[in-house]
Structure 1
């Protein structure tokens, strides 16, 4: 039992007053001698005893009356929380695309929102976290309004981020009882999010009534001939085999081709469409099929005349570069030091200084200017490189310098797999490849250097000299056959290929929402001019960096919906790009709740939102007792009246 006004209970000490009054009012009976009354002695004793009992009964009823009144004014109650303590309930409602499925009662997200509204207490305060928004310390009415307007989103929020929000919202709050409720389908994208120190919460798992799904996994193309183009659509099936599924391909809104296919249980299948090879194709693929998810039955992509990356090699002739920078993807050109076309330098995306003995001042100025405007530089020294000449150049372009040549045979053993240069190159870390060697190298000193490939002594073989606007790569050794066998290593192709590919981010056929996408747009903008991305329903200004001949755009938080978007400058459309939903959301693999409960004792799971809120409301319900004490006071008063009126000693 708890009290809202516990200080009133101090008045119980005043009950000593009626006790003292009653004690002093107990009169002593006076004996009067009288003859022949011996037979009355017993009756006199009984009367005196009865009178004392009556007075003690009256004292007891009055004490009970006063005590009951004091307890009533102190307002006692039963509850799991103190009356001055506020209830703060943190609710995480997963509104990812995977919750846009149908359960036993209907749409998972809408039913979950409705059940929260129906069962949440109207007197408590709430914090609502969704994948897109965070509403801190809101009332029930605000909670209801936000839940009624909730929509599915491609954005995903990690459990760790949600827990950080909980800690932030509860920080520095005193006299507050906190409760956390997680409502999600707990897709396996949450794997490894739970640890031994994960804060306790009540979880409700949303489950779809369907266990089959078919989705468009990816799209790629290849040229059949000069006039035809083949579009390959990779279909992913989860669950039972499916037959006669219609699939159609559109150019914008115009139907181009349609067919049907069958697919076996839990397999992938490639469907091909042969199309006329046109300059621009804004493709949309539709599958007509009712399954767990509908958002992954449509896919957008763009096919444009492929723009090539301009690569210029200055210095010694290198046959290996022409084999890597092929005509279908690159415009590769080579020049000796004496025949450099300086007017062609600004038109390049990447320049390779291939084993120059020294770097003349004229070339140095042109390369530095090219680098400042966003161009990529790869520097390969010569066996007989002039260190002073190189240091003058390196100091200006990357605040770096090299040491004198070290003649020492070293193995190339270490690969930085986390570097962007090796993204999607290796399916797993390779540790037992045949190590290439170098016989001599030029160590580089730089404050802003990151190693890409290293020697066995951990010194750098290939490194990136970090700069705010440009990319400069340093190869510390000559790659001539007399000095190294690196050109025979399988590493040479991905390294130099990605040097070229990363120098200019041409637009891809499609991008995914909620991923960091980098796009380079060839354009010359005027001062204070910016690029905007628009479609029929929305527009936004993406983060962008302007160079001389291009603008680098980054997208992540925007856009939020799938479809085609135009990159525009003023009113001119420079490019059209396509966005699709993340394919991870199509997964039908979910966390094993039973295993999760065994591993994390502080996490409770329920199958019903109503049960969790009813239990929470029941624990926080206040049962007031003052009425019962007031009734007891009335009963005490009535007892005293009855004793005074009917009890005759």
Structure 2
């Protein structure tokens, strides 16, 4: 038995007061004349015995009342096994899970509110001089420092659901750093969470022998959820007024199947589709929507379902930029080629611009789906550099060789730089194309079925390609002498297609062949490289900027009651926007220069789908993890019991409340003895 305030025990000397009163309390007798005392002797002896017993009981009740009153002020307790180690100022770190999954309901209500109540109980269990760190998934800067009891309770009240989600190893590492900075020897950490599997990377958590770890798991009543997992377009290129297919993946995280899930497609504020889907337990199902984008090239949409209580993943927002026309730039070394002009001018979906080598506007190269280098006489160092930049951003380049070998020098230098085969000797041979690579994207969907005796292009003259072990690429069309007729290679992020003949009928009949038109139109759509339809809030994202002005120094993003400036980065002639600051709402946002109210592009931003999976850390694995640590335990008590448990661990079992009640009991006994026993 020990005492919180042992100095109060000196007040036990007050017990002498009722003893002195008892010893020196002499009754004054009053004389009464009576005729005969023989019959009073026996009565007098009986009354004297009762009075003595009553006085002793009153004395005892007074002594005990004073004893327990003094003990109540001294606060006796039985120390816990580790209470001696917990004396002094303590540093306590409390992590409160405020991710989306904490919107679920548990035995004590909403999980987040239950976690906050437990955190308050923990804070209230400690002393006024102790220091506290309140930590959430948001990793706010202020949460790096320790505060007093009052501020800790205020911060707990301010915690709200957040889209952020951090792994358990990073959380414990952040707690360790904050507690070590506090400089106290007594360090205690608490983790209050539903402990979803995706955050429990326990293999990365190091054992910290300098602090004790308390795991407080919260369990939801129901661990099921249905989410819109992802969406994608079946084609990398979207053109206005042309039908396109969008697919959405609906995932069921429950252990039972979900039937007749209504999936809705909203495009530019209008409903474009509604389908019902059934998902088996812990499986996903894909839904297809066919629609035709019209109107503005900036398109936005959402796929939505209805599911409770977890709703953050019921909608997935996306955006894309449709193409009104494909931009094709033809750089001519000599006269413009009529065959190139005719094939693109016959289709309004293409916008052909022809320039000579001396009239190139380098600023427009990045906006072209296809650049044709047609029979160059010479390639300047400036043009070579710009073409490499164009390839670095994913551009598509078609090279048509000149008709004279004397003009090949600078062209071959460029080809060597990008590790493509050089043009060699000009060979005059009557040959034919014998095969083509129908699996390549260039010929995909061109033929329903390739005829067995197909009439391929005939060649009168061609350049032999000089191949080596370091040469990049492959043959798209092959001659019957095993020489390449069309060569294709990936360079950087771009695509290069090389013809081995000029587009002249004295070299080949390709310009007049049935394959020529689909080949050129397919090249004109550019290299397939679809940009993401959406990005994830809370992750570091580089977003390609669609603005054309190089003077746009400050780019802003706005929408859904938010506005912020984006960092920019210039690389290979393209501007990229860096989205780092987390946003409170998912949705489609506008992007434009600072002084413009007209968006140049849209971007869909969604919450991370990691929180959609409601599976929790299995209890057996949790027990095994705690068993492997030196100072760790799991607490499953409700809020009221938790506070008492922590108080007992810190101070031992306290008895001062019992002393107060016993004081009142013995005072009451004294009153009853004096009033009822005459």
TM-score (norm 1): 0.58
CA distance in 1, matches of 2:548, 2:280: 51
Indicate the SS of the match to 1:618: helix
Partner of 2:581: 557
Alignment of 1:91-490 (within 5 A): 91-120=94-123, 121=125, 123=127, 124-134=130-140, 135=143, 136-195=145-204, 197-199=206-208, 201-221=213-233, 228-239=243-254, 240-251=256-267, 253-280=269-296, 281-290=299-308, 292-306=309-323, 340=357, 343=360, 345-349=362-366, 363-368=380-385, 376=393, 440=468
Indicate the SS of the match to 1:138: coil
CA distance in 1, matches of 2:215, 2:609: 25
Residues 98, 497 of structure 1: CA spacing in aligned structure 2 closer, same or farther, 3 A cutoff? Answer: farther
Partner of 1:630: none
C-alpha distance after superposition, 1:492-527 (max 9, x if no partner): 699756999999987532222123332222324465
- 1:590 equivalent to 2:616? Answer yes
Residues 202, 142 of structure 1: CA spacing in aligned structure 2 closer, same or farther, 3 A cutoff? Answer: same
CA distance in 1, matches of 2:485, 2:218: 55
Given the alignment, which residue of 542, 556, 572 partners 2:566?
542
CA deviation after TM superposition for structure 1 residue 478, in Å: 8.0
Residues 182, 368 of structure 1: CA spacing in aligned structure 2 closer, same or farther, 3 A cutoff? Answer: same
CA deviation after TM superposition for structure 1 residue 552, in Å: 1.2
Partner of 1:508: 532
CA distance in 1, matches of 2:542, 2:473: 32
CA distance in 2, matches of 1:440, 1:507: 34
Which range is displaced more, 599-608 or 207-216? Answer: 599-608
CA deviation after TM superposition for structure 1 residue 242, in Å: 2.4
CA distance in 2, matches of 1:373, 1:103: 56
- 1:607 equivalent to 2:636? Answer yes
CA RMSD, Structure 1 to Structure 2 (Å)? 5.5
Partner of 1:86: 89
Residues 175, 498 of structure 1: CA spacing in aligned structure 2 closer, same or farther, 3 A cutoff? Answer: farther
C-alpha distance after superposition, 1:303-325 (max 9, x if no partner): 43148997989999xxxxxxxxx
CA deviation after TM superposition for structure 1 residue 212, in Å: 2.2
CA deviation after TM superposition for structure 1 residue 208, in Å: 1.5
Which range is displaced more, 239-248 or 586-595? Answer: 239-248
C-alpha distance after superposition, 1:34-80 (max 9, x if no partner): xxxxxxxxxxxxxxxxxxxxxxxxxxxxxxxxxxxxxx9xxx99872
Residues 83, 519 of structure 1: CA spacing in aligned structure 2 closer, same or farther, 3 A cutoff? Answer: closer
Alignment of 1:570-589 (within 5 A): 570=595, 571-589=597-615
CA deviation after TM superposition for structure 1 residue 178, in Å: 0.4
Which range is displaced more, 559-568 or 491-500? Answer: 491-500
C-alpha distance after superposition, 1:521-559 (max 9, x if no partner): 232446573110001411111221247975311224333
CA distance in 2, matches of 1:354, 1:279: 30
CA distance in 1, matches of 2:206, 2:546: 50
- Checking the alignment, whether the CA contact within 8 Å between 1:524 and 1:550 is kept in structure 2 is no
Residues 342, 194 of structure 1: CA spacing in aligned structure 2 closer, same or farther, 3 A cutoff? Answer: farther
CA distance in 2, matches of 1:2, 1:315: 99
CA distance in 1, matches of 2:565, 2:390: 22
CA distance in 1, matches of 2:285, 2:325: 31
CA deviation after TM superposition for structure 1 residue 164, in Å: 2.5
CA distance in 2, matches of 1:207, 1:112: 11
Residues 537, 352 of structure 1: CA spacing in aligned structure 2 closer, same or farther, 3 A cutoff? Answer: closer
CA deviation after TM superposition for structure 1 residue 270, in Å: 2.6
C-alpha distance after superposition, 1:211-245 (max 9, x if no partner): 32211112234589956544433211122122333
CA distance in 2, matches of 1:157, 1:113: 18
Instruction: Name stretches of at least 5 consecutive residues in structure 2 with no aligned partner.
Output: 6-73, 334-346, 423-465, 498-522, 656-678
Indicate the SS of the match to 1:295: coil
- Checking the alignment, whether the CA contact within 8 Å between 2:390 and 2:494 is kept in structure 1 is no
- Checking the alignment, whether the CA contact within 8 Å between 1:88 and 1:179 is kept in structure 2 is yes
C-alpha distance after superposition, 1:145-164 (max 9, x if no partner): 22222122221212232233
C-alpha distance after superposition, 1:78-105 (max 9, x if no partner): 8725687211111112212222212222
- Checking the alignment, whether the CA contact within 8 Å between 1:234 and 1:271 is kept in structure 2 is yes
Indicate the SS of the match to 2:310: coil
CA distance in 1, matches of 2:190, 2:218: 13
- Checking the alignment, whether the CA contact within 8 Å between 1:81 and 1:177 is kept in structure 2 is no
C-alpha distance after superposition, 1:579-622 (max 9, x if no partner): 11212211133222312432452142222364555433322228
Residues 173, 275 of structure 1: CA spacing in aligned structure 2 closer, same or farther, 3 A cutoff? Answer: closer
- Checking the alignment, whether the CA contact within 8 Å between 1:241 and 1:265 is kept in structure 2 is yes
